Amino acid sequence: QVLLTESGGGLVQPGGSLRLSCAASRRALSAYTMGWFRQAPGKEREFVATNNRGGGITYYADAVKGRFTISRDNARNTFYLQMDSLRPEDTAVYYCAADPFGNVGAMTASDYNYWGQGTQVTVSS
């Protein structure tokens, strides 16, 4: 069992930045594909970004490409989402997810087995 805990969400003005963290309860992050997803009220959960267990292969949704950056520190069992130039439409609950099978480029929620509880990001004036 792996417990994922997101942190770093909050209220930010348009154009601002936030950094989300996802901490894993076990030292197993180095073996997992990791992903970020988000879900806004009334909408389905959507893919944001993912990278492989080594962190060298990264994919982003078109809506966030050029503004968001994912990274990981496997030694600290932590996965990050740096969000810059935030827009109101980025408002959502953001979820960290882990694929223990290490599939590369996983972009659908069904590819992931472990999920965090989510952290709220609100972009508003």
Q: Is the dihedral of CA 78, 61, 53, 109 positive or negative?
A: positive
Q: What is the pLDDT of residue 42?
A: 94
Helix residue ranges per DSSP H, the chain: none
Q: Please, which pLDDT band fits residue 55 given cuts at 50, 70 and 90?
A: confident
pLDDT tens, residue by residue, 73-103: 988 999 999 999 999 999 999 999 999 998 8
Query: How far is the C-alpha of 22 from the C-alpha of 87, rounded, in Å?
Result: 22
**Which token pair is 72?**
């990981």
- Reply yes or no on whether the pLDDT at 27 is more than 80: no
